Structure 1
Amino acid sequence: MRQVTVRMTAQGIDPESAYRRISDFRRYPELTRTVREVTVHPPRPDGSVVSDWTVSFRNGLMCWTERDAFSPPTLSITFEQLSGDFETFEGSWSCEAHQDGTAVTFRASFDLGIPTLAEILDPVAESTLRTNIHQILQGLLGTVAPAEAADAAHG
């Protein structure tokens, strides 16, 4: 399974506000062209939410349904695909205070389920996922930069 971590800093926004914006999946399609559609279903008895996603992927679309568990006290979200185009897709978002604002970490593990093409497709999927997350964070939070670059600039 392929692992992806994207860590960005958003300047001028506190972690609680960043978390609220990231949690508002319905807004993603208006903030980035890569997310075509998100349908968020009513909360389940356990507080989790099921959401349906359609996202641009290279020259096509990827579609899936995921369960999202929100944890406002820890400013984190975990997700796991219930059905869709990935064989496996799961991960998390987290927000924490940073010198100039908020550090946001997106982690995901995925498997496209095509072992014979994994060597070719997985790096493309990882790159596309990284680009999409960067664009989503830019749309949600404004100016974002890779956390390592921001950390080095302040070190």
Structure 2
Amino acid sequence: MPCVETKIVINGDSKPIFEIIKNMEAYPSFMHDLVSVEILERGENTTVSHWVSNVDGRKIVWTERDTFYPEEMRITYCQTEGDLKKMEGEWRLVPVSEGTEVSLLVDFEFGIPMIAGLLNPILKKKVRENSENMLTAVKAQIEK
């Protein structure tokens, strides 16, 4: 199962960065690959969100459960249904001398074992690019 972790240092305090990351329904306004993010359920420290993305002209759709840990500056997510067999991971924010290091972990499985060897390297590259774009977009929101 491919796993991708990307990191970026953002010149800013972790609390406002956490609020931007937590506000997932706003992502399509500053992340060009996302068509929509809709919050289906909202709990005290959880949401269930429905995502539609456009990756290289291919529509990818999924629903995920997000759990927020504001005291730890961490958000976990896990696909509950969607186009991939598995997609889960977490956002972590850690204070560093230059600001806040933000990391995004994505663990995924395409779900077709016979062609996984061929597709996983391609998907891993696309997930890394998408993750880097997400981190850069969050950075731009804080440092603009």
TM-score clears 0.5: yes
Aligned 8 A contact 1:58 1:128 in 2 = no
**What RMSD over aligned residues (CA atoms) do the two structures have, in Å?**
1.7
Percent of aligned pairs with the same residue?
27
Corresponding position of 1:151: none
Paired with 1:72 and 1:41, the residues of 2 have a C-alpha distance of: 21
Q: Paired residue for 2:118? A: 120
In 1, the alpha carbon distance for the partners of 2:17 and 2:45 equals: 20
Unaligned runs of 5+ in 2: none
Runs of 4+ in 1 over 2 A off after TM superposition: none
SS of match in other structure, 2:9 = strand
Which TM-score applies when normalising by structure 1?
0.85
Deviations along 1:21-44, whole A, 9 cap, x unmatched? 111101110101111110012313
State the shift of 1:47 in Å: 3.2
Match of 1:5 in 2: 5
Q: 1:53 aligns with which of 51, 54, 69?
A: 51
2:39 equivalent in structure 1: 40
Residues 6-29 of structure 1: CA deviation (Å, up to 9, x unaligned): 11111x211111111111101110
Gaps of 5+ in 1: 145-155
Corresponding residue number in structure 2 for 1:23: 22
Matches of 2:59 and 2:115, distance apart in 1:
18
**Match of 1:7, as an amino acid?**
K
SS across alignment from 1:33: coil
Give the aligned length: 142
